[in-house]
Amino acid sequence: MYERDVELFNDSLERCSCEPEFLRRFYTLFLASSDTVAKKFERTDLRKQARLLKTSLYILMLASGESERVVHMDRLAKLHSRAELDIKPELYDLWLDRLVQAVKEFDPMFGMETETAWRRMLQPGIEFMKSRY
Ligand code: HEM
């Protein structure tokens, strides 16, 4: 993990988080991306969900090392696994693409470098979640 990515990701997340609409926009995009996704969130309070997601974005950032991932993300990975929410690995790629799309719309300083930083920061956590499916 590069120091520069951490900084770019964190600053961009701060700018986006100033806008209460940011994570709601993400969920609108994500739910529209697939019927499977929309079905999974049929009974979810999306405002509460957006709050939980914000916290977990910081967790994903902190969980850059292998051992931190196991400690911080074990419960979340288990919840999303086949046995519980049954979130198929390919849905994580949609998740990341729609999240980056929302960042693009909300971060006034968005550019290629910012996009790369988001992807690099979140990829290890996503791979971990997929591997626990
Ligand atoms: C790395 C990517 C992801 C992160 C960080 C994440 C994070 C979270 C968090 C924090 C929760 C709430 C857990 C709790 O209630 O304690 C949650 C629940 C949930 N997530 Fe994810 N998630 C991710 C990917 C996905 C994907 C790809 C899907 C696909 C549809 C998904 C579907 C759900 C569903 C259905 C719930 C339960 C909602 C409810 O309680 O009604 N998540 N997720």
What local confidence, expressed as pLDDT, does residue 62 receive? 78
Is the shortest distance between the CB of 41 and ligand 1 below 6 Å? yes
**Contact criterion met (CB below 8 Å) for 12 and 4:** no
User: Could you give the CA distance from residue 133 to residue 131 in angstroms, rounded to a whole number?
Assistant: 6
Sign of the C-alpha dihedral computed for residues 28, 30, 33 and 34 taken in this order: negative
Options 3.40.50.150, 3.20.20.140, 1.10.490.10, 3.10.290.10; CATH of 3-131: 1.10.490.10
Nearest to 13 by CA among 68, 65, 73, 55: 55
* Positions of the chain with pLDDT lower than 50, given as ranges: none
Nearest to 29 by CA among 95, 87, 121, 120: 95
What local confidence, expressed as pLDDT, does residue 106 receive? 98
Is the shortest distance between the CB of 91 and ligand 1 below 6 Å? yes
User: Ligand 1 centroid to 83 CA: how many Å?
Assistant: 14
DSSP letter for each residue of 70-129:
HHHHHHHHHHHSTTTT---TTHHHHHHHHHHHHHHHH-TT--HHHHHHHHHHHHHHHHHH
What local confidence, expressed as pLDDT, does residue 44 receive? 95
What local confidence, expressed as pLDDT, does residue 1 receive? 58
The domain ranges of the chain are 3-131
User: Ligand 1 centroid to 12 CA: how many Å?
Assistant: 22
What local confidence, expressed as pLDDT, does residue 66 receive? 79
